[in-house]
Amino acid sequence: MARTVEPEFQGARRRLVEAIRDKGINDLAVLRAFEMTPRHAFVPTGLRHKAYEDAPLPIGSGQTISQPSIHAKYLELLRLTGREKVLEIGTGSGYQTVLLAHLVAQVFSIERIPALVQQAKLNIQAAGVTNVSLLLGDGTVGWREYAPYDAILVSAASPSVPEPLKEQLAEGGRLLVPIGGKDEQELVMITRKGTEFLRENILAVRFVPLLGTHGWRENEKGK
């Protein structure tokens, strides 16, 4: 069972869910996942008073937790049914990972920063979900051992679509990834149809750089 939200955060959580709904998110399963997931438990203690604002927040190691309405948009775009096997690139503090865990059969999540992997592991355990597997590594190469995936979510911006992630999509699978430079990107959805990959541009977004073999290199990020 998921951990209940402490009483002092219950009103703020409900207001956040309504704010997400007001921004056009109508998928009831997605809204329920936000109701079940205590965002304040995934941000630094000193920022918990801001946890239920619809805004990104720093989580350490130069990384951020995205604004909830962006998470919600990602999840609604994927049209999840509850039976999927999903790959997440960029675990961060584990917030989106737990949202996904409430929406799909199995989540595989990759994070390149050791300190975040350790924190996410604790956060995910505390949230009470058991259908998540974590890997410390280069997310741009994916996790071939458990491919193919029905959906892949990338939580950082890449200069182009990483080819290994396309290859690890199942037939009909969907990949969401921000593509662009350091200042702004376009959220792109790639859908696999046999040997073809259909591309759809969704909306303008801003994410931290996706570092790795098939993303930005450490010495060129943001150029």
CA distance from start to end of the chain: 44
Contact 110, 137 (CB under 8 A): yes
Q: Where in the chain does DSSP place strands (E)?
A: 57-60, 63-65, 85-89, 106-111, 132-136, 149-154, 169-180, 185-193, 196-205
H helices present in the chain, as ranges: 7-22, 28-36, 68-77, 95-101, 114-127, 163-167
Distance from C-alpha of 11 to C-alpha of 31, rounded to nearest angstrom:
15
126: how many CB neighbours lie within 10 A of its CB?
Answer: 15
Q: Which residues are catalytic?
A: 66
Show Cβ contacts of residue 32 under 8 Å, excluding neighbours closer than 6 positions: 102
For the purposes of burial, counting CB atoms within 10 Å of the CB of 47, is it exposed (0-12), middle (13-18) or buried (19 or more)?
middle
SS3 92: coil
